[in-house]
């Protein structure tokens, strides 16, 4: 099951309190669907709300920051990592903390890239416009911190720009994101809980959005292609007070 809070996205420019409230409301929606595990598949939501979600959730919760940090810590040889992310994720300092935990002594240079999420949502994934915007962010970042050999894509939208990013940064800089390592973390946790679906069980997918369904389908179809399941409209209720 996937829920996109497109009606209130992007989360990156929003205040920490708003992000926590919106994330809790989405979590309540999921819990009402009787899920067995939650993934906060948003770096800003993970950075701002993971702790409070874990306090309130009746099922295990996995965030995307730590898996991404582990991927970056494993990839770097110079112990100097660059992170591009939303303003909210950068302000939280979640990635420097998580990378330092995974690989003490690693230096982290961060940069907020507010133009990237709207650009991806608009379907601008390559071409002159995408390259121009990305160069304006990446060249000063990499040039201003000598020795960077790893670039962490600290937003789940950014991997859609990965081919252009890799062309700009070149072969000497490894580009990593949290998607693969988050999937492994989910797999390991399901095994630890003996909670995997039985072998041979039919798999089905549900996609829901709080925004306009047609607009969501346009974006999601780039990922799923012809395999895109039908998309439903979701209505989430206001959460209670957040401590």
What does 167-186 look like in DSSP terms, one character per residue? HHH-TTSEEEESHHHHHHHH
- Asked whether 47 and 12 are in contact (CB, 8 A), the reply is no
Q: Are 158 and 183 in contact (CB under 8 A)?
A: no
| Cα–Cα distance measured from residue 233 to residue 180, given in angstroms and rounded to the nearest whole number | 28
**CA 34 to centroid of chain Cα atoms:** 23
> What are the CA-CA distances from residue 100 to residues 53, 153, 184, 205 (Å)?
23, 17, 21, 36
113 is catalytic: no
Q: Output the six-digit token pair for 230.
A: 């039908």
Consecutive H or E run containing 233: strand 231-233
Give the C-alpha separation, 173 to 149, whole Å. Answer: 4
Catalytic residue among 42, 83, 84, 207: 42
Beta carbons of 37 and 186 less than 8 angstroms apart: yes
Selected catalytic residue, list 141, 155, 169, 175: 155
Cα separation, 13 vs 134, in Å, equals: 19
- Residues labelled catalytic: 42, 155
């Amino acid at each position: 099951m996937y829920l996109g809070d497109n009606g209130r996205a992007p989360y990156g420019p929003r205040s920490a309190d708003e992000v926590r409230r919106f994330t809790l409301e989405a979590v309540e929606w999921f819990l009402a669907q009787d899920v067995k595990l939650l993934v906060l598949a948003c770096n800003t939501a993970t950075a701002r709300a993971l702790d409070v979600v874990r306090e309130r959730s009746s099922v295990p919760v996995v965030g995307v920051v730590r898996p991404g940090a582990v991927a970056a810590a494993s990839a770097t040889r110079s112990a100097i990592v660059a992170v591009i992310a939303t303003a909210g994720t950068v302000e939280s300092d979640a990635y420097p903390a998580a990378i330092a935990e995974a690989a003490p002594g690693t230096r982290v240079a961060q940069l907020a890239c507010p133009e990237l999420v709207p650009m991806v949502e608009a379907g601008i994934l390559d071409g002159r416009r995408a390259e121009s915007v990305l160069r304006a962010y990446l060249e000063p970042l990499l040039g201003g911190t000598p020795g960077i050999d790893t670039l962490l894509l600290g937003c789940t939208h950014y991997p859609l720009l990965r081919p252009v990013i890799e062309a700009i940064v070149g072969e000497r800089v490894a580009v990593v994101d949290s998607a693969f390592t988050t999937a492994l973390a989910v797999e390991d946790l399901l095994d630890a809980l003996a909670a995997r679906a039985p072998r041979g069980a039919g798999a089905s997918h549900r996609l829901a959005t709080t925004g306009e369904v047609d607009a969501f389908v346009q974006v999601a179809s780039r990922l799923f292609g012809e395999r895109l399941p039908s998309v439903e409209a979701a209505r989430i209720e206001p959460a209670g007070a957040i401590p």
